[in-house]
Chains A and B, each alone.
Chain A
Amino acid sequence: MTDDARRPTVPRERWVEFATSRDERLRDELVTEHIGLARRLAHRFANRGEPYDDLVQVGSIALIKAVDRFDPDRGVEFTTYATGTVIGELKRHFRDKGWAVRAPRRIQELYLELGHTIDALSQELGRPPTVPELAESIGVSQDAILEAIEAGQGYRSSSIDAPGQRDETLADRLGANDSEVAMVDERSVLAPALAALPERQQEVVRLRFVEGLTQSEIAARVGISQMHVSRLLAQSLARIRENLAQER
Chain B
Amino acid sequence: MSDTVALSLPVRSELLVLARITAATMASRADFDIEEIEDLRLAVDELCLSVVGGARSGTVRLEFSVDEATIAITCELDQSGEPDDGDVPGEPDDLSIRLIEALVDEHGRDSANGRRRAWLSKRRSRVEH
A interface vs B, CB < 8 Å?
37, 40-41, 44, 79-81, 83-84, 87, 91, 118, 127-132, 134, 142, 145-146, 149-150, 153, 158, 161, 166-174, 176-179
B99 touches A170 (CB 8 A): no
Q: Interface residues of B: mostly helix, strand, loop or mixed?
A: helix
In the bound complex, how far is the Cα of B24 from the Cα of A46, in angstroms?
Answer: 22
Instruction: Give complex CA distance A134, B28 in Å.
Output: 11
B54 touches which of A44, A128, A161, A171 (Cβ 8 Å): A171
B39-62 residues at the A interface, CB under 8 angstroms: 39, 41-42, 45-46, 48-49, 52-56
- Does B35 have its Cβ within 8 Å of any Cβ on chain A? yes
What A residues does B46 contact at CB under 8 A? 174
B residues less than 8 Å from A161 (CB atoms): 14
Check B129 against A130 for contact (C-beta < 8 Å).
Answer: yes
Q: Please indicate the chain A residues that have their CB under 8 angstroms from the CB of B126 in the complex.
A: 127, 130
Choose among B17, B25, B38, B101 the residue that contacts A83 (Cβ–Cβ < 8 A): B101
Question: Which of B17, B20, B45, B99 has the most chain A CB within a 10 Å cutoff?
Answer: B99
Total contacts A to B, CB within 8 angstroms?
108
**How distant is the Cα of A172 from the Cα of B54 in the complex, in angstroms?**
8
What is the total number of residues of chain B having a CB less than 8 Å from a CB of chain A?
Answer: 42
Contact A146 B34 (CB under 8 A): no
* Interface residue from B16, B33, B35, B41 paired with A170 (Cβ < 8 Å): B16
Interface CB pairs A-B, < 8 A, 16: A80-B98, A83-B98, A87-B39, A91-B42, A127-B33, A127-B125, A130-B34, A131-B34, A149-B38, A153-B41, A158-B13, A166-B12, A169-B13, A169-B53, A170-B11, A170-B52
